[in-house]
Chain A
Amino acid sequence: EPEVTQTPSHQVTQMGQEVILRCVPISNHLYFYWYRQILGQKVEFLVSFYNNEISEKSEIFDDQFSVERPDGSNFTLKIRSTKLEDSAMYFCASRTGSTDTQYFGPGTRLTVL
């Protein structure tokens, strides 16, 4: 069964460094999302992406964040200058155009030191 994949599974970085989190959505999906989950807290929406542009973004998704779909398969989240409070599990999700069910990847745990 097709699934969303994410790399790396765990990323450790120093405060102020740039990180890129990678996702490969399911191949025939059209809508793409990033969410994050700070340890022990709820899963929060960051951004949605469709037709090569951002559809919606949350207040969390400030100028330090960007997303890109550089080719037909990858969907990336970049954090330009990481802060301690960016430490979280980041989930990528995707869905087709004909259902509201989002399929999630296993997540990337980002630790900012």
Chain B
Amino acid sequence: GNSVTQMEGPVTLSEEAFLTINCTYTATGYPSLFWYVQYPGEGLQLLLKATKADDKGSNKGFEATYRKETTSFHLEKGSVQVSDSAVYFCALSRSNFGNEKLTFGTGTRLTIIP
């Protein structure tokens, strides 16, 4: 079946550091890939997405590139801020069509210290 494997956390970085959170997936066909973020006490918010190979999703300084050859969708940010502290979830849906569920990774808790 489909699955998502995410970098174990927690991750603690200093402000302005470079961030990478690794995500790899297993799926048949051509899934869409997502990063969701969960700030303390809040629900899941879509951060970015990519729907086909070599697409790059970006938002709020975060980027992730859909790499079919390595089945990866790693999240990166060049300079993190304290406000980026949250839990980050990588997820996939099997296709753009139909009533497709999301399959999530375990989440990575990120803490940014000033």
- Decide yes or no whether B96 CB sits under 8 A from chain A: yes
Binds B, one of A62-70, A78-86, A100-108: A100-108
A contacts, CB < 8 Å to B: 4, 6, 31, 33, 35, 41-45, 48-50, 55-56, 58, 91, 93, 99-107
| Interface contact A104-B99, CB-CB below 8 Å | no
Question: Which range holds the interface residue count of chain B?
Answer: 20 to 34
Binds A, one of B18-26, B43-51, B60-68, B78-86: B43-51
Total A-B residue pairs with C-beta atoms closer than 8 Å?
Answer: 58
Question: Smallest CB-CB separation from B49: which chain A residue?
Answer: A101
- Chain B CB within 10 A, most for which of A43, A45, A103, A104: A43
CA distance A43 to B89 in the complex (A): 9
Question: Smallest CB-CB separation from A46: which chain B residue?
Answer: B101
Residues of A near B34 (CB, < 8 A) are 101
Q: A100-B100, A103-B46 are in contact. List 20 more A-B contacts (CB 8 A).
A: A35-B102, A42-B106, A43-B44, A43-B89, A43-B91, A43-B102, A43-B104, A48-B100, A50-B99, A56-B99, A58-B101, A91-B44, A100-B95, A101-B46, A101-B49, A104-B43, A105-B43, A106-B42, A106-B43, A107-B43
